[in-house]
Amino acid sequence: MASRIRNILTMEPTEQTVTVEGWVKTKRDSKNLTFLEITDGSSFRGIQVIVDHDAEGTFDHLDAATTGSSVRIKGKLVASPGKNQSVEVQATQVDIIGEAPADSYPLQKKRHSFEFLREIAHLRPRTNTFGAVTRVRNALSFAIHRFFQEQGFMYIHTPIISASDCEGAGEMFQVTTLPMEKLPTQDGAVDYSRDFFGKQASLTVSGQLEAEIYALAMRDVYTFGPTFRAENSNTSRHLAEFWMIEPEMAFCTLEGDMELAEEFIKYILKYVLDHCPEDMDFFSKWIEKGVKESIQQVVDSKFQHVTYSKAVELLEKADRSFEYPIGWGEDLQSEHERYLTEEVFKGPVIVTDYPKEIKAFYMKLNEDNKTVRAMDVLVPRLGEIIGGSEREDHYDTLLKRIEEMNLNPEDYWWYLDLRRYGSVPHSGFGLGFERLVQYVTGMHNIRDVIPFPRTVKNAEF
């Protein structure tokens, strides 16, 4: 097997024979020489190949070595006199494996718009930007698993099809085998008892409730899987199919949750800086000025803590106006979050103890009966990156909260059971994976950080 270009680029050049396999990125001809840049996705840089037409070797069909064609090249690895690379290959044999006719291949040298590239999602991984996004996304995925595995967390596969009626129904995709043209009905309503699961089912919007089940047996667990939301909104931050990371820890209060979130964020950001330096340089130069430095600052920082009530006070005192008014009881909008982290705390900050009315029913009620043990981690440039909480672990309080929110306790029988049998303080948080990739790369549209985005009216690839 030929080496990946990433490995060849780090070899000591001793005129040894190497085989380069990949796709032609650029081709330049001078009198007797042809310069090819070959890439294979393994690194940001390609490798330079020089074909000397007078040298001994087989260079048939060199004309067909156009941008996008696939090639196998044998040659000698030598030190490069050029300042852009330390090694290059002097070709002794060039084989064209698959042509890419220049008159029809859509990815020519000039820069293409991201909108155009979305229409050719089958070719966009070959561009600099999408190559870099793909490598960073891969590094982040690996770092996330590595972090939790090193800490002894169990990876739990929570279901993708969910038949419990627990979640916010409005945003869910229904899963059914009922014939759409002729739905069975009973008393004028669809008869779901004749559906595949004997009841209504949907694609999951979160794995948290199921993760709690496993946390109350395995102690520390995490999920990292696909989630689905039928968001009918055309924003640069929402997908219909995205990935979510949700750790859940038993014998853990909000303080432990905050500690883990800080350690986790720093670990995965540092991993990317250490393992994808060239990709990060590219993003910092061409996509979002200074993104690399801003990531480094988070790694080096100490996360500060502030309660929601105090944060609202700070916002009310701010000598500037916001588009959305703020007052106790209002949810923080991203302009408020950014003001807090960028202007007030000048670094990451964790906001805790939100009013119960603006948070989910399962968050643990404080003694004041007004706020819950929630925490949002805010970072500069973005605002909220993580949302989490200590979960309500008292049966009576949880039941009361479910009733207060006009939810049906019967739908939550197993969730309530966890508070009847061996209940224990437990906490966790959620992180949207694509939002994280956006934050790390500075990419402006979430459709450009997932290989095949699913959004309203769009699922071509």
Residues at the site binding ligand ATP, with contacts judged by CB under 6 A? 229, 231, 237-239, 242, 244, 387, 430, 432, 434-435
d(CA 70, CA 86): 24
Q: Which is nearer to ligand ATP, 119 or 231 (CB)?
A: 231
Q: Tokens 């408020």 sit at which residue?
A: 336
Q: Which residues contact 406 (CB under 8 A, 6 or more apart)?
A: none
Contact 80, 15 (CB under 8 A): no
Tell me the two tokens of residue 427.
Answer: 């906490």
DSSP 365: B
Q: Which is nearer to ligand ATP, 22 or 388 (CB)?
A: 388
Give the alpha-carbon dihedral of 137, 138, 143, 148, to 10 degrees.
100
Q: Tokens 């703020």 sit at which residue?
A: 326
Provide the b/e sequence for 215-249 (b: ≥16 CB within 10 Å). Answer: bbeebbbbbbbebbbebeeeeeebbbbbbbbbbbb
Compute the least distance from the CB of residue 50 to ligand ATP, in Å.
45
Q: Tell me the one-letter amino acid at 72.
A: R
Q: Which is nearer to ligand ATP, 195 or 434 (CB)?
A: 434
Contact 23, 70 (CB under 8 A): yes
Q: Which is nearer to ligand ATP, 426 or 435 (CB)?
A: 435
Q: Which is nearer to ligand ATP, 78 or 360 (CB)?
A: 360
d(CA 282, CA 129): 8
Compute the least distance from the CB of residue 222 to ligand ATP, in Å.
14
Classify strands 383-390 and 426-432 as parallel, antiparallel or unpaired. antiparallel
Q: Which is nearer to ligand ATP, 242 or 283 (CB)?
A: 242
Q: Which is nearer to ligand ATP, 139 or 205 (CB)?
A: 205
- What does the radius of gyration of the chain's CA atoms come to, in whole angstroms? 27
Compute the least distance from the CB of residue 185 to ligand ATP, in Å.
32
Compute the least distance from the CB of residue 446 to ligand ATP, in Å.
6
Compute the least distance from the CB of residue 147 to ligand ATP, in Å.
18
Residue whose CB is nearest to ligand ATP in the complex, by number:
432
Q: Which is nearer to ligand ATP, 428 or 430 (CB)?
A: 430
d(CA 366, CA 304): 21
Tell me the two tokens of residue 113.
Answer: 């718009």
Compute the least distance from the CB of residue 231 to ligand ATP, in Å.
5
Compute the least distance from the CB of residue 387 to ligand ATP, in Å.
5
Compute the least distance from the CB of residue 400 to ligand ATP, in Å.
23
Tell me the two tokens of residue 90.
Answer: 């002097």
